[in-house]
Amino acid sequence: MRITLNDVAKRAGVSRNTVSLVVNGKYDKVKEETRERVEDVIQEMGYVPNFAARQLTGKRTKTLGVILPPLRNAFSFYNMSEMSSGISDAAGAQGYNLMFFVCNERFKQGLNIRLLKDSRIDGGLILDNGRLVIHNIEELERDEIPFVILNYRLERPKTNYVAIDKEHGSYLAVKHLIDLGHRRIGFINGSLPQHIEERFYGYRRALDEAGINLDPECVVTVTEGWVEKTGYEAADMLLELPQPPTSIVTSSDLIAIGVYKRLKEKGLRVPEDISVIGYDDIPIARYQDPPLTTIRQPYYDLGVKAVDILMRFIKNRDQKSVHESIKPILVNRASCSYPPR
């Protein structure tokens, strides 16, 4: 476990500020006896000055650390690219550089966070794919490093996050179909726990508002990721129901593309026989046949907002933590129509 300034201060029986003065060589402000005691404790405990200690000198490095999750498919690459672009533009406008940390396995998230802590950065941005490890976040909180989590809600008093309102996105999709007259709406959900809950709540809320009873058979939760294969297989499950849905809402554009393929193999037309809505608005969505109606997640705006929040905390650490969300929007193309008679 990392030894912190607080640990040294407690062992030496002095304040954190006194330890900071010793660490930064400001010996004229500390009694010689106290300085020697603190230095002895530092040597005994093996304390190594890190980011938190350097920040107490008041010197900023004008660098932000960015932790990226694994990029396993086109969707991951697209949303991380958009968020990173927003971060880069916003940070550049503030005169800041970026240092990226990329992990290819979940267990390496902790290693990247430790590397971030030991680097000369003024604050951190964590782009998450729904698999944050809490004790890694606790390390940042304990060392009082300003950081913001992107696109994952973590309700902790010392944690800042900005996320897209996924519940609202699903709500918009289902309400659009209900307004067209659909009453039996299939729903293909994702595989990450928090995302599953939020998207399902939006689906259910739209049905409740319209007085439509929820049929559990119309809800399919995928287990192999938000990719074409799961959409292809989930479409079969919905189409084999005694009363198949007249429309399908999916939790990603890639899933919707898999649904398209299976529907066409079965001789069903989109949207004449069945309407389909995607989620994300990746570039390829507009080039489907027909162009896919989808929910656009403003990833670029998310990156810009995260930098704005982080800058506030770099300038003033005594603020209350920020928990914010950004609304997605419906992009209406040609994959939805009135239900078949």
CATH number for the domain spanning 193: value is 3.40.50.2300
Compute the distance between CA of residue 211 and CA of residue 194 in angstroms, rounded to an integer. 26
Rg (CA), the chain: 25
Residues 105 and 118 reside in one and the same domain: yes
Residue 44 falls inside a structural domain: no
Residues 142 and 111 reside in one and the same domain: yes
Residues 205 and 261 reside in one and the same domain: yes
The one-letter code for the residue type at 97 is N
Q: What are the structure tokens assigned to 139, written together? A: 């390390």
Residues 292 and 190 reside in one and the same domain: yes
Count: domains in the chain: 2
Given a contact cutoff of 8 angstroms between Cβ atoms, the answer to whether 169 and 328 are in contact is yes
Please provide the distance, in angstroms rounded to a whole number, between the alpha carbons at the two ends of the chain. 66
Residues 192 and 102 reside in one and the same domain: no
Residues 147 and 241 reside in one and the same domain: no
Residue 7 falls inside a structural domain: no
CB neighbour list of residue 25: distance below 8 Å, 6 or more residues apart: none
Residue 278 falls inside a structural domain: yes
Q: Give every residue of the chain whose pLDDT is below 50, as ranges.
A: 51-56
What integer pLDDT is reported at residue 266 of this predicted model? 96
Residues 145 and 234 reside in one and the same domain: no
What integer pLDDT is reported at residue 59 of this predicted model? 60
Compute the distance between CA of residue 120 and CA of residue 53 in angstroms, rounded to an integer. 11
Residues 172 and 284 reside in one and the same domain: yes
Q: Give, to the nearest 10 degrees, the angle between helix 193-209 and helix 166-180.
A: 30
What integer pLDDT is reported at residue 143 of this predicted model? 79
**Domain that includes residue 307, residue range:** 63-164+299-326
SS3 state at 68: strand
What integer pLDDT is reported at residue 236 of this predicted model? 95
Residues 131 and 200 reside in one and the same domain: no
Residue 322 falls inside a structural domain: yes
Residues 188 and 86 reside in one and the same domain: no
Residue 194's H or E segment, with its range, is helix 193-209
Residue 104 falls inside a structural domain: yes
Residue 67 falls inside a structural domain: yes
Residue 107 falls inside a structural domain: yes
pTM attached to this predicted model: 0.79
What integer pLDDT is reported at residue 53 of this predicted model? 47
The one-letter code for the residue type at 225 is G
Residues 244 and 307 reside in one and the same domain: no
Q: Give, to the nearest 10 degrees, the angle between helix 16-23 and helix 32-45.
A: 90
Residues 304 and 226 reside in one and the same domain: no
CA angle 158, 163, 168 (to 5 degrees): 135
Instruction: Please write down the long-range contacts of 223-227, taking CB distance under 8 Å and 24 or more positions apart.
Output: 223/191, 224/191, 225/72, 225/73, 225/191, 226/73, 226/75, 226/190, 226/191, 226/251, 226/252, 226/254, 226/255, 227/73, 227/75, 227/252, 227/254, 227/255, 227/258
Residue 2 falls inside a structural domain: no
Q: Residue 5: how many CA atoms within 13 Å on its side-chain side?
A: 22
